[in-house]
Chain A
Amino acid sequence: MSTFLLIVVTGLGLGALYFLAASGLSLIYGLMGVLNFAHGAFMTAGAYAAWVTMTRLPSSMGVGLRLLVAVVVALLVGAIVGVVVEVVLIRPLYRHHIQQVLVTVGLSLAAVAAVQGIWGADPRAVARPEVMTGTVGLLGARIPVDRFVYLAVALALFGGLLALLRYTRLGLVIRAGVENRTMVEALGIDVQRTFTIVFGLGGAVAALAGVLFSQYAGSVSPGQGGSLLIYAFIVVVIGGMGSLTGTAVAAFAVGLVQQLANYYAVSGVGDLSVVLLLALVLLARPSSLKGATA
């Protein structure tokens, strides 16, 4: 029972990370129809920004405090990268969806290579504060605290994004834009600016996901963002392309399935069962998942 509980909580924690990685992707896709391959690069940028900040800050500061500062820096870096990418690379290719995908593909390849050139291909260890490394007893199981941290951050983000979408003017424009972009433009609202904001937001969330994932893995490496991105893609497709609630449900389902299958079957089956889950969802309910015919 205690093992089961540990695995479930770990699965939920992993699902929380997947949600962090996928929510920005889903938001950008839903509003702009852009499949952002550079999202992995945003995550890598955030993770490395945090890692560099933590190593540069004086070690007299506590690890937890350094991590907090690093998270803030990573959020800023992610937002700036997102905004710059949108303005410089995505905006000129407005409505050319395939070209937008191609540009983000090129960007992701170049960014990973650049990171690899500067900091090397090997994983670098990141310092983890005691809060993240400790365990807590729950119904007889010793559960690492960091799982709950990821869960809390993901739930806070989910709530925050929902509130943003429901109760603010920006959220109203985003929701309307997802529904019918041309109509929103015809009503005299600057959708362009909303795109930039959403990209910045997506970049910041991706950076946060990158930092937390590097905490989960205990290290940063150039390919980390890319491997997380693939699960984020799966989550976005299962969740219904552009729906935030769907993304959240799919993220936790994927995390749970992966962890349970990895433990109760052979290690590695979990990753495959996620792809199997995707295939099953596609076969069972393809109509709810129809992507834009770009």
Chain B
Amino acid sequence: MTRPTPATLLRVGLPLLLLAVLAYLPYVPASIPGLLPGRINGPGSMQLLATCLVFAGFALSYDVLFGRTGLLSFGHALFVAAGSYLLTVSLSTWSLPLPVAILAALGGTTMLALVVGGVALRVGGIAFAMVTLAFAQAASIIVLRDPGGVTGGEEGKALNRDAVPSILVGVQNAPYRYWLALAFVTVAFVLVRLLVRSRAGHAMAAVRENEGRAAVLGLTTYRVKLLAIVVGSFLGGLGGVVHALVLGGSSPSLTSAEFTLSLLVMVVLGGAGSTWGAVLGGFLYHYADARLVEAGGSGVFDVLPDTLRAVLSQPLFILGAFFVVVVYFAPSGLTGLGGRLIRKTGAS
């Protein structure tokens, strides 16, 4: 990419083209057997694709911390869950109108990020990872204990359907939820791109590369890191809101340590510190997680011995093992691997 004009075209044109194609999908009646359940614009596929897009947005939000600033946080699920639960709870328990509820969810998540980030950033490196994990665990405990019947405990909290516009409710309206998810990913994508190219984004990159040096150069690294946590959590909270709208409620699985770890897996699978990497990682992770369950049940593995089949029918086993392989052989993730292949073919 030596000449700037085609490169710029590629950088702006390709995402726009992809966005146009994705936005048009609800009008495509074709079916892709094996890849998607039923027709592309059928409710099953739409719902699956919408959830995949929401996960792509989750991965984008986590990448602000991990890939861009080098913060290994195991507490990011806390903010996603906060966005989701604050929305559902303020809609049903506090009967707020939808716009106010969304503002409350986003504001609450941002405040939470300031407090938790402010405390956790007092330690660095691995200790930071452990402390954020502990905070996320505290949230998980609160949600499961169901204080005052507010969070619904293990059942989760259903979205108050009367408080939501009718086009977001019901099976036949899956395309609208899909567009909502697409809009969320687009917003997150643009925001992260803008952030990365701003002064603050450069400061984050400096902290990631060498925190000591960034401090010597006069950056208040604490503030830079806190900013990364707040921005990432804001996007995560927004994702939580969209997740609740798309899936019709909040589920305690959003608060689990497993979900927090899966965010890390998504980002690393796709390629940490790359916008496309995060999008791809989040999308593929959820897609694989959802589809592998069906592959396990469909009898693909029937020829294998019982024990092996039982293990392989667990999507997390395959994803976890694949993740280890990626960490070893493709440390820059799938996008890094793709980029390397393109450069190789271009050179030869």
Interface residues of A (CB under 8 A from B): 29, 33, 35, 37, 89, 92-93, 97-99, 101-103, 105-114, 116-118, 226, 230, 233-234, 236-237, 241, 267-268, 271-272, 274-275, 278-279, 282-283, 286, 289-294
Residue contact B123 to A282, C-beta cutoff 8 Å: yes
Docked pose: A35 CA to B141 CA in angstroms: 23
Q: Tell me which residues across on chain A come within 8 A of B72, comparing CB atoms.
A: 98, 101, 294
Main SS class of interface, A = helix
Residue contact A290 to B123, C-beta cutoff 8 Å: yes
Residue contact B310 to A268, C-beta cutoff 8 Å: no
Q: Please tell me if B316 contacts chain A, counting CB pairs below 8 Å.
A: yes
Docked pose: A225 CA to B317 CA in angstroms: 16
Residue contact B317 to A99, C-beta cutoff 8 Å: no
Docked pose: A291 CA to B315 CA in angstroms: 34
Q: Please tell me if B265 contacts chain A, counting CB pairs below 8 Å.
A: yes
Can you report 22 residue pairs joining A to B where beta carbons are below 8 Å apart? A35-B130, A93-B327, A98-B72, A101-B126, A105-B323, A107-B320, A110-B317, A110-B319, A113-B317, A114-B317, A117-B312, A117-B314, A234-B130, A237-B123, A237-B134, A275-B138, A279-B135, A282-B119, A282-B123, A286-B122, A291-B126, A291-B128
Known: A99-B331, A113-B315, A278-B131. A283 touches B124 (CB 8 A): no
Most chain A beta-carbon neighbours within 10 Å: one of B311, B314, B328: B314
Residue contact A118 to B307, C-beta cutoff 8 Å: yes
Which 5 A-B residue pairs are closest in the complex by CB-CB distance?
Answer: A110-B320, A291-B127, A109-B320, A113-B316, A113-B317
* B99 → chain A closest CB, angstroms: 32
Q: Tell me which residues across on chain A come within 8 A of B122, comparing CB atoms.
A: 282-283, 286
Residue contact B319 to A109, C-beta cutoff 8 Å: yes
Q: Tell me which residues across on chain A come within 8 A of B128, comparing CB atoms.
A: 291
Known: A106-B320, A237-B131, A272-B142. A292 touches B327 (CB 8 A): no
Docked pose: A244 CA to B188 CA in angstroms: 44
Q: Tell me which residues across on chain A come within 8 A of B141, comparing CB atoms.
A: 268, 271-272
Docked pose: A106 CA to B325 CA in angstroms: 9
Q: Mark B129-173, 1 if CB is under 8 A from A, else 0.
A: 111011101100110010000000000000000000000000000
Q: Tell me which residues across on chain B come within 8 A of A118, comparing CB atoms.
A: 307, 310-311
Q: Tell me which residues across on chain A come within 8 A of B125, comparing CB atoms.
A: 97, 291-294
Selected from B120, B123, B124, B324, the residue in CB contact (under 8 A) with A107 is B324
Most chain A beta-carbon neighbours within 10 Å: one of B123, B130, B138, B265: B130
* A83 → chain B closest CB, angstroms: 18
Closest to B128 in A: A291
Given contacts A99-B327, A114-B317, A274-B134, 5 further A-B contacts (CB under 8 A): A106-B265, A110-B317, A234-B134, A291-B125, A291-B126
